[in-house]
Chain A
Amino acid sequence: GDSLLPAPQSISVLSTNMKHFLTWSPVIIQGATVRYSVEFQGEYEREYANGSWIPISECSLTTATVCNITEDISASVAYRLRVRAELGATRSQWGTTKGFFNRATTSLTPPLLRVVADGHHLLVELADMGPSFQFRVLYWRKGQESRVQQRMMKEVSSVVHLDTMEAGAEYCVKAQTHVQAINRSSSFSPTQCVRGQGDTSLWL
C-alpha cells in the first residue's frame, strides 16, 4: 500500500563546482528503518517521452537522505527530481523538488592554488576539479600590474612553470575556474606573491 508513509520533505539540490546532490529530510518511523528511492526527469523526458521518470539505481532503497545525481544531470537543461520513502511493501507518495534544477546554476568556488618560487622559476600548482574545469591563471611582476600575463590551463595534474623571474623581484599570481559546458567562471582566488631568488654575488 502507498498511503500510511509520509512523503519525504525539504527536498532540494545542493550543487557546487558541477557536483550535484539531492537531499531531503528523513521520514521518522519509530523502531523502523525507512528506505528511499530517487528518480529524475529531464526536459527531454517531459517534452518527448510522456513525462517519464528515470530511476537512479545507486539511490534505490537507500537509507541515506542524500543522493549524488551528478552523473545523471549531464546536460544544461531543466531537471526535476523526486524521492519517496519505502518501508517493506509500503511506499509513500513522491516528494518532488519545487521548481527545476539546471546545472548552469551550480555555485563555482575559486580554485585552490599553490605558488612556488623555485630559484628563478615561478611555478603554480592547482587542485584538480574534474574534467569540466579549465583554469585561467593571471600573473604579473609586483609593481607592474598593467602588464598582467594570462595562461589558460586544462590539465592540472602537475606543477606548471609560469615564468622565469628577474632576480629578487616579487611576482603575484591569482586564478579562476571556467566551465565551458555552462559558460561560467568562478571568482578569482586570493592573490599569492612570491620572491624570486636574489643574485648570488661573486666575491672575486
Chain B
Amino acid sequence: GACSVSMSMTEIRAGFTAIKANIQSRDPIRTLSILSHPCSLHKVKSSDRCCITHQLFTFYVDKVFKHCRTEDSFVNRKISSIANSFLSVRRKLEQCREKNKCVCGEESTEKFKQILANYEGLNVTSAAMKSLGELDILLDWMEKS
C-alpha cells in the first residue's frame, strides 16, 4: 500500500510564512533556484512522490536548517519549529521506507541529484538560505497532489 503520513502542514506553513520575507531578503541571487531548476519538482510520477519527499526532508534536516542561524531570535525560533516538524515527519517517512512503501525510482534519484547539484553550486550559507526561502515551493508541491 501507499505511505500515508499525517503532518501538520498548517503549522509548518504558518511558521514559514512568518519568516518568509526575512529569509528571502537574505538571498541576493534571484536568478537561480534550488528546487525548481530546471524543473525538478514538476511532473513527478506519483510512485516517486514518497521517495522525493523523504529525500527532500532529509536534505533540509541534514543540510539546510543548520546553516540558517540568524541574529534574529524570532527567526531562529521559527526555523527551530520548522526543523523539529521536519524531523518528526521524516521519522514517519522512514517508517514507510522500512516497510518498502517509499521506493526510489530512477526518476526521483535523478531529480534529487539535480537539487543537490543546484545546492552545491553555491556557497553553503547562500545555498541554505535560498533553500529555506524556497520552502513554499516544496509545501505547495506536497499540497497540490
Q: Does A76 contact B (CB under 8 A)?
A: yes
Chain B's closest residue to A44 (CB) is: B83
A183 to B4, CA, bound (A): 14
B84 touches A181 (CB 8 A): no
A74 touches B6 (CB 8 A): no
Interface of A, helix, strand, loop or mixed by DSSP: loop
Q: Does B61 contact A (CB under 8 A)?
A: yes
A53 to B65, CA, bound (A): 15
Number of cross-chain contacts by CB at 8 Å: 64
Chain B's closest residue to A183 (CB) is: B6
B84 touches A57 (CB 8 A): no
Q: How many residues of B contact A (CB 8 A)?
A: 22
Q: Does A158 contact B (CB under 8 A)?
A: no
Complex interface: stretch among B73-81, B102-110, B111-119, B128-136: B73-81
A74 touches B76 (CB 8 A): no
Q: Does A146 contact B (CB under 8 A)?
A: no
A76 to B81, CA, bound (A): 10
A74 to B66, CA, bound (A): 18
Q: Does B10 contact A (CB under 8 A)?
A: yes
A60 to B1, CA, bound (A): 49
Task: Tell me which of A48, A57, A71 contacts B61 (CB under 8 A).
Answer: A48
Interface residues of B in 66-108 (CB under 8 A from A): 66, 69, 73-74, 76-77, 80-81, 83-88
- Across-interface contacts of B87 in A (CB, < 8 A): 42-44, 47-48, 75, 77
Find the residue from A40, A48, A79 having the highest chain B CB count within 10 A: A48
Q: How far is the CB of B45 from chain A (nearest CB, A)?
A: 28
A71 touches B83 (CB 8 A): no
A74 touches B10 (CB 8 A): no
Q: What are 11 A-B pairs with beta-carbon distances under 8 A? A: A42-B84, A43-B84, A44-B83, A44-B84, A48-B62, A48-B66, A54-B73, A54-B76, A54-B80, A75-B88, A181-B11
The list of the 9 closest CB pairs from A to B, nearest first, reads A75-B84, A42-B84, A74-B81, A44-B83, A75-B85, A181-B8, A44-B84, A77-B84, A44-B87
